[in-house]
Amino acid sequence: MTKRFGEITALDGVNLSIEDGEYVCVLGPTGAGKTTFLRIVAGLLEPDEGEIYIDGKCVNNLPPEARDTVYMFQQYALFPHMTVWQNVSYGPEIKDWNREKVEQLTAEILEMVRLAERRDAYPHELSGGMQQRVALGRGIASGARILLLDEPLGALDARLRVGLRTQLRQLVKDQGLTAIHVTHDQEEALMIADRVVVLRNGRIEQTGTPHEVYSRPNSIFVASFVGGANFVEGTIIGSSDAGSVMEVLGGLQIKVAVSDVGAGEKAVLAFRREDTWVGEEEVAGSNNLPGVIVSATFIGDSMEYEIRLENGVSIVSKILMSDAFKAYTEGQRVVASFPPEKGHVFPYPVMGLLKEVEAI
């Protein structure tokens, strides 16, 4: 699908196919086109080009209520003057089902979202997470098999958001529903999704399982947006089946995974902070980059060290606080190491490196 708003192309030839029962997260920064994508699938917006098929049928001309989808947007709205029970049973009630059927379904859904005990409470008497579960229950009660979730956890506080991730996924799986969940939160997407679709400027940048997208990013943008990484500029000086060698500022030669970038060409090396070790000694078989600790930041389960390499480039190492952990202090001379197979090389971007990383 393609969708333009005046000068802006919000979606640019997006083509995606989703399996029955799949939990897909569309991940991208603000303005990537996520909401536009969901609204088109829901039937709330018309695409300029493209067709949407559900169960093999083109639904372009079907109104939202005839699409088997339910769209739940960022700021979910509950009816404030209705109880939990009334909010959830609202959809089935207006469908004119018989009383017994409505009651049975509502009771089942309240069990499912674990709010049976709060059935007579009003929304203002519930926590944010409970309200979210009521909204989900109401969406499921509509009978739609495809949940379109627009940043569904975005309005909740951090703790709750993390707790609800697995619940949300479990609910969708238990009910055999299909979910398209859009978010700008990479951690959320990696944790919940069967498949992650990275969207940038209205285009799909990469699609894959969370592990694939994380461990084999296909662009600088994905490497930086999903998981974050150290980026170092340089030139490829040779390649073999075993890997490539890159020369960076100061003449340092770095062994990396096999890359398509040809010898003599400018390139960008990306390696994860959590794949970068800090020690006093070189590590055999790894790339060893001497430098000085610039800062140490404690972040609970791990420590982040910023290291200025001898060539002036700064990198970050993230080390889990385990029994083997050893603290280093500012100004201390160290060696930063990472294994060659953890180094991903990309062609030097036409618009420069900052543009790819800054777009976040």
**24, 36, 222, 259: which one contacts ligand ADP (CB under 6 A)?**
36
Name which of 32 and 248 has its Cβ closer to ligand ADP: 32
Q: Which is nearer to ligand ADP, 39 or 161 (CB)?
A: 39
Which residues partner with 195 through β-bridges?
A: 24
How far apart, in whole angstroms, are the C-alpha atoms of residue 239 and residue 246? 9
Do residues 206 and 213 touch, judged by C-beta distance below 8 A?
Answer: yes
Output the smallest distance, CB 53 to ligand ADP, in A.
21
Q: Does 13 bind ligand ADP (CB under 6 A)?
A: no
Write down how long the chain is: 360
Nearer to ligand ADP (CB atom), residue 28 or residue 43? 28
Binding of ligand ADP by 186 (CB under 6 A): no
Which among 23-31, 206-214, 282-290, 323-331 is the span making contact with ligand ADP, rule CB under 6 A? 23-31
Per-residue binding string, Mg ion, 35-64, x by CB under 5 A, is x-----------------------------
Residue among 25, 28, 42, 105 that touches ligand ADP (CB under 6 A): 28
Q: Is 230 in the site for Mg ion (CB under 5 A)?
A: no
212-229 burial, b for 16+ CB within 10 Å, e for fewer?
Answer: ebbeebbbbbbbbbbbbb
Q: How far is CA 145 from the centre of its chain?
A: 23
Give the C-alpha separation, 181 to 26, whole Å.
Answer: 6
Residue 33, interface with ligand ADP (CB under 6 A)? yes
Smallest gap from Cβ 71 to ligand ADP, in A, equals: 13
**Is 154 among the residues that bind ligand ADP (CB under 6 A)?**
no
Is 15 a binder of ligand ADP (CB under 6 A)?
A: no
List for the chain the helix, strand, coil content (%; round to 5).
Answer: 30, 30, 40
The reply on whether position 137 binds ligand ADP by CB under 6 A is: no
Q: Which two tokens stand for residue 160?
A: 């709750």
Ranges assigned E (strand) in the chain: 3-5, 8-11, 23-27, 53-54, 57-58, 69-72, 146-150, 178-183, 195-200, 203-208, 230-240, 243-248, 253-256, 266-271, 277-279, 287-298, 302-309, 314-320, 333-338, 344-347
Contact 336, 293 (CB under 8 A): no
Say whether residue 204 binds ligand ADP (CB under 6 A): no
Among 23, 25, 27, 35, binds ligand ADP (CB under 6 A): 35
Q: Considering the complex, what minimum distance in angstroms separates the CB of residue 138 from ligand ADP?
A: 22
Measured distance CA(132)–CA(349) in Å, rounded = 42
For residue 35, the minimal CB distance to Mg ion (Å) is: 3
**Residues found near Mg ion in the complex (CB under 5 A):** 34-35
Q: Which residues sit at the interface with ligand ADP, rule CB under 6 A? A: 5, 8, 10, 28, 30-36
